[in-house]
Structure 1
Amino acid sequence: MSPCSRSIISQNLLQLNHPFPTCDIGQGRRHLDSSLFSGSSSVSVNDSLCYKMSFFKFLFVAAIVSNATFIEGYSLSNLDIVTRDEWQARPPKLVEPMPNPVPYVIIHHSYQPAACYTPKACIKAMQSMQRFHQDDRGWNDIGYSFGVGGDNRAYTGRGWSAVGAHSPHYNNRSIGICVIGDWTEKLPPTSQLQTIKELIDYGVQKGMIQPNYMLLGHRQVRDTECPGDALFNEIKTWPHWIPSPPNEDVQVENVNSGANAVLL
């Protein structure tokens, strides 16, 4: 279980210590009898109201729990994955299927565009990267599987099951996550880092990423400064990071897709 794991119902999700007025039921009135809602005088009006309030409090809690997705012991109810339609992505020129689950997750930074902290700015950043990759580089689509913005949302790029264009020789067996911004000298906000972790754990839970996946920074698979010194030093502390990829046969990739792309 990763360090970010917490109890199944996080305290932030269910801070219900004082969401409703408290009820002080006397020592002799703690048993709810069958006449509670019948109008019988055996239960006081105050106690009847108190029991009803407790019942509605229970329903409120149950509603929150029913809408939460639990992965590795903590709630992912706040994970917001933005679809391609929602950020108004262009259609891909071609989609090459990638089998799941994949063994690698590779972390990038965009460098440019700069960090974004609102949905509007992050959508603009995703559109800018796709336009550059398709028009200037001639690739099929934006190179990354996902982008993660400072608005704490994950943006669908090529998605879980399409060959990417972000890390030569790993594009057909990895999920490439671009952390939007330049993270050479400073770290992304804690909430943005948490979104990356939750996205990865969601991929594991959905069978898109192997449970024993290996985490790498882009600089570990090609000559580049990506994902920036600060971010790279951060991911080196995460449980699945490995110092170097295992010695494996080089995977043949379709160059026309941008699969053997050189990303700075």
Structure 2
Amino acid sequence: MRTDDLSRRRVLQLAGLAAATSIAPQAFARAAPPTPSVLCRDAWGAKPPRPGGTPHTPVRMTIHHTAVPLGDNANAPARLRQHQHYHQDTQGWIDIAYHLSVDRNGNIYELRRPELVGDTATDYDPTGHFLVVCEGDFDKDPITEEQLNGAALAFAWAAQRFDIPTDTLAGHRDASHDTSCPGANLYAHVVDDDLKNRVDGLLAAGTVDLRTICGPEASKAVADIESGLR
């Protein structure tokens, strides 16, 4: 092959590489990571809580899963509305059972007031438990790094606010004999102290600034989640 043919081929190869490089960020774009904030109830479309509830002070931390596959993470806000409907209208509880929820991308949602005892259909008393639920069925689904980090952030905030020792962090199954919650794939991160270590790392780094956002900022965040952008 002649030298000028080799040069021409090399130019074409470089041009093709440049074109491929220019479109790669779009082809492999991922949802933007969430900011460290809690999306308020109004933003995800919660109904008002019913009157009542039992006051308590959280003294331990317990992680749950919803035991229902999430599918696309864009389903998360609608799934919360379904949970609340089931908990209020079928179970007869005052509100959705947990205090905070975390979706697959690490977004954190405001649920029941943490100063009120959560609810359960299993054989344990959730009085004194700060309850975080991860959306998904982790007997079937893998748990993402983003969801683990979101749960750790939620627990670190609670540990700081209520002075809860991090060695109280446990799975729902540790308090109840009739459930596999929070699912094998998530529970593995409880058993080996990975989740606790993430919480401890956040607390060691300083004040955990986890603010609740509402209004247009939170509505935009939920719209982005439902569009697959966050």
State TM-score, norm by structure 1: 0.56
CA shift, 1:159, in A, is: 2.8
Partner of 1:110: 66
CA displacement 1:100-137 (0-9 Å, x = unmatched) = 3x22111111112525523xx21101001000111111
CA shift, 1:239, in A, is: 6.3
* One-letter code aligned to 1:236: V
Q: Which structure has more RCO (C-alpha within 8 Å, separation ≥ 6)?
A: 2
Cα pair 2:100 2:112 within 8 Å, conserved: yes
CA shift, 1:151, in A, is: 3.0
Using the alignment, how far apart are the partners of 2:38 and 2:148 within structure 1?
15
Detail structure 1 runs of 4+ shifted over 4 Å in the superposition: none
CA displacement 1:75-104 (0-9 Å, x = unmatched) = xx932211111111111112425333x221
Using the alignment, how far apart are the partners of 1:202 and 1:108 within structure 2?
17
Aligned match for 2:47, one of 84, 90, 104: 90
Gapped runs of 5+ residues in structure 2? 1-33, 197-230
Between structure 1 and structure 2, the one with the greater Rg is 1
Using the alignment, how far apart are the partners of 1:148 and 1:209 within structure 2?
21
Q: Whose helix fraction is larger, Structure 1's or Structure 2's?
A: 2
1:129 aligns with 2:83: yes
Gapped runs of 5+ residues in structure 1? 1-76, 242-264
Relative distance call for 1:113 and 1:85 in structure 2 (3 A) is farther
Using the alignment, how far apart are the partners of 2:193 and 2:131 within structure 1?
16
Using the alignment, how far apart are the partners of 2:163 and 2:76 within structure 1?
25
Using the alignment, how far apart are the partners of 2:131 and 2:98 within structure 1?
5
Root-mean-square deviation (CA, aligned residues, Å) is: 2.2
State TM-score, norm by structure 2: 0.63
> Tell me, what secondary structure is at the counterpart of 1:143?
coil
Task: Number of aligned residue pairs: give it.
Answer: 161
* One-letter code aligned to 2:146: S
1:183 aligns with 2:138: yes
Among the aligned pairs, what percent are the same residue? Answer: 25
